[in-house]
Amino acid sequence: MLSGNTKDLKQSIIKKLEKLNRKKFKTDFIISPELAKRLSLLSKEINRQIGLLIDRYNEIQYVIVGDNKSIFIPELKRFRLVPGKLRGLRLVHTHLYNEGLTEDDITDLAMLRLDAVSAILINQEGLPAKIETAFLLPPNRENNIYNILDETDVYNQKTNFSEFIKNLEKEIEEKSISLFQIKKENNAFLVGCFKNKEEAKESLLELKELARSAGLNVVDTIYQIKQKVDPKYILGIGKLKNIAIRAYQLGVDYIIFDNNLTPSQAREISKLVEIKIMDRTQLILDIFAKRAHSNEGKLKVELAQLKYLMPRLSVKDDSLSRLTGGIGGRGPGETKLEIDRRRIKDKIAFLTRKLKQIEKTRDIQRKKRTKRDIPTVSIVGYTNAGKTTLINSLTNSNIYADNLMFATLDTSSKRLRFPEEKEIIITDTVGFIRDLPEDLKDAFKSTLEELYDADLLLHVVDISNKNYEKQIESVNKILEELNLKDMDTILVFNKIDLIDDETLKERKKEYPEAVFISALNRKTFQPLLDKIFYKIFKKKLKHASS
């Protein structure tokens, strides 16, 4: 494929360039001396740099014409980047002014993950004076990206390039595993832009837990301190390139932003980085999709995913710009993009109707419970606070619970019997999280609507989490948004088995009205049960008698 700056070139020159295209040459080296000489003379004649992108079978895949100081490498659609591997293409190009490898050359090597980048330095006669070759290094503790091959004589090359690259890729894989615990797949970099270090560490720690809950192996976390995020790339472009280069070097599959990306930011970053890009919202949606088991839960997740996807449909994929028509259709018809958008809108409308029907059924069930005058207690709290474990222990149930964020999403209601033939319905809800995405709030509104009919809320807090105070604030903020802040609530500190006695004493002084338990130890439940019984039954009797 011939590309680049071919304007004003003679037809005879273009024919010579086209002859190079798809040409296969025999050599064990980076380039044969004959081809290097031919390339140099042609480059001198037109006074422009010429580059060749050569595959591992020594077949020329791209011929690129630049100006007298640089070349521009086209999009390499046919040679997709595989995490942990090199591109399978090497760039050999001419330098007209005897200058060595430039910073742009090294950037192309690292960002495009090329097998190598070679510069042929041309002398006054238009012949190769020497060749300089840079290649990528395997992952290392020093974060060194590349090295230069010792050989510079075009006519006396000694390195068998095919064997060299084969051994290099093997070393890349081995060092990725031994030094950085890179797995075969699902490796992730966590990145974000924050106003201060404290915020960065807290946010990325939570993002790491989310990634772990999604089944990802977190390789590294990187952040940038800025008062305002970059409107185009979130991070500065230099920082983003460094992250991408490091991610390529380690064979990372995902770069996950703690910041929520706008559709335009996601597009611009994807143009620059050939690794799957995700943001915090998408990661949470993926976890929800894995965890939802009931029909209703699956519908809610699908609805949230479609709402997230809708504004992110772009014309980046060439197939989306093809025009489609139908029999009897006028004009060019709808574009693929328009059809996709219309289908998503129709699906959103269908799912919304279906969820409303489910909500009606739930309303009927609630009314039946109200008629029977069975009090309801709803458990709320930050994700992974131990809500499901608590309801399992209280009611001898076996609802799935795990030490993961959003381990359970589907609403569960169980009976809890008290003495004097009294009983309550205790209901588990989806875990809360800071900055809960709006689409998720809407999608799970019906789950949270259970809270409006509750007689009492149990706000469960993971006391072993060092950010428990901020988690309490996040839950209270969401309850306030739902107009539930004034509802009768018991603050329940869970996981007391994970803190020392001195810390427990301090927390009890700070929160004298709270109850302290371990959801794994039923012996700690009596104060909680007494408080529930008092608030549900004794308190009601007092109000009734007065």
**Residue 202 sits in the same domain as residue 268:** yes
Among candidate residues 397, 514, 539, the one with its CA nearest the CA of residue 460: 514
Domain assignment of residue 390, yes or no = yes
Domain assignment of residue 328, yes or no = no
Residue 112: partners with Cβ closer than 8 Å, 6 or more residues away: 73, 76, 87
Q: Cα(189)–Cα(256) distance, rounded to whole angstroms? A: 6
Q: Note the pLDDT of residue 400.
A: 54
Task: Give residue 522's domain range.
Answer: 374-545
Among candidate residues 403, 437, 473, 103, the one with its CA nearest the CA of residue 260: 437
Instruction: For 418, list phi and psi in degrees, rounded to 5.
Output: -115, 170
Q: Cα(80)–Cα(59) distance, rounded to whole angstroms? A: 17
* Cβ atoms within 10 Å, residue 77: 7
Q: Cα(464)–Cα(461) distance, rounded to whole angstroms? A: 9
Between 321 and 34, where is the model more confident? 34
Last-in-domain residue among 156, 180, 204: 180
Domain assignment of residue 498, yes or no = yes
pLDDT digits (tens, 9 = 90+) for 109-155: 999 999 999 999 999 999 999 999 999 999 898 889 999 999 999 99
Q: How far is CA 26 from CA 22, 23, 162, in A?
A: 13, 10, 12
Last-in-domain residue among 138, 162, 180: 180
**Residue 432 sits in the same domain as residue 539:** yes
**Residue 146 sits in the same domain as residue 237:** no
Between 296 and 175, where is the model more confident? 175
Q: Cα(339)–Cα(317) distance, rounded to whole angstroms? A: 14
Among candidate residues 187, 160, 161, the one with its CA nearest the CA of residue 173: 187
For a pLDDT cut of 70, what percent of the chain falls above it? 87
CATH code: domain of residue 466:
3.40.50.300
**Residue 280 sits in the same domain as residue 296:** no
Q: Note the pLDDT of residue 368.
A: 66
Q: Cα(70)–Cα(110) distance, rounded to whole angstroms? A: 17
**Residue 256 sits in the same domain as residue 146:** no
pLDDT digits (tens, 9 = 90+) for 69-99: 999 999 888 888 888 889 999 999 999 998 9
**Residue 395 sits in the same domain as residue 540:** yes
Q: Yes or no: say if 254 and 187 are a contact pair by the CB < 8 Å rule.
A: yes
Domain assignment of residue 497, yes or no = yes
Q: Cα(75)–Cα(14) distance, rounded to whole angstroms? A: 21
Domain assignment of residue 460, yes or no = yes
- The number of distinct structural domains making up the chain is 4
- Band of pLDDT at residue 442, cut at 50, 70 and 90: low
Return the H-helix or E-strand segment holding 368: helix 336-371
Q: Is the pLDDT of residue 204 over 90?
A: yes
Q: Note the pLDDT of residue 445.
A: 55
Residue 111: partners with Cβ closer than 8 Å, 6 or more residues away: 241, 244, 245, 248
b vs e for 213-236, b when ≥16 Cβ sit within 10 Å of the residue's Cβ? Answer: bbebbbbebbbbeeeebbebbbbe
Domain assignment of residue 246, yes or no = yes
Q: Which of 120-124, 264-268, 325-329, 475-479 comes out lowest in average pLDDT?
A: 325-329
Q: How far is CA 176 from CA 83, 108, 141, in A?
A: 11, 22, 11
**Residue 147 sits in the same domain as residue 232:** no
Rg, C-alpha atoms of the chain: 31
**Residue 217 sits in the same domain as residue 262:** yes
Three-state DSSP class for 323?
strand
Entry pTM: 0.78
Q: Note the pLDDT of residue 411.
A: 65
Q: Note the pLDDT of residue 309.
A: 83
**Residue 105 sits in the same domain as residue 48:** yes
pLDDT digits (tens, 9 = 90+) for 397-436: 776 555 566 655 556 778 888 877 788 888 888 788 877 7
**Residue 227 sits in the same domain as residue 347:** no
Last-in-domain residue among 154, 180, 206: 180
Domain assignment of residue 394, yes or no = yes
Between 463 and 296, where is the model more confident? 463
CATH code: domain of residue 199:
3.40.50.11060
Q: Return the residue matching tokens 């603050």.
A: 491
**Residue 357 sits in the same domain as residue 470:** no
**Residue 220 sits in the same domain as residue 116:** no
Q: Return the residue matching tokens 């699956």.
A: 298
Domain assignment of residue 127, yes or no = yes
Mean pLDDT over the full length of the chain: 85
Q: Note the pLDDT of residue 333.
A: 47
Among candidate residues 312, 295, 315, 300, the one with its CA nearest the CA of residue 348: 300
Angle at 492 between CA 487 and CA 494, to 5 degrees: 150
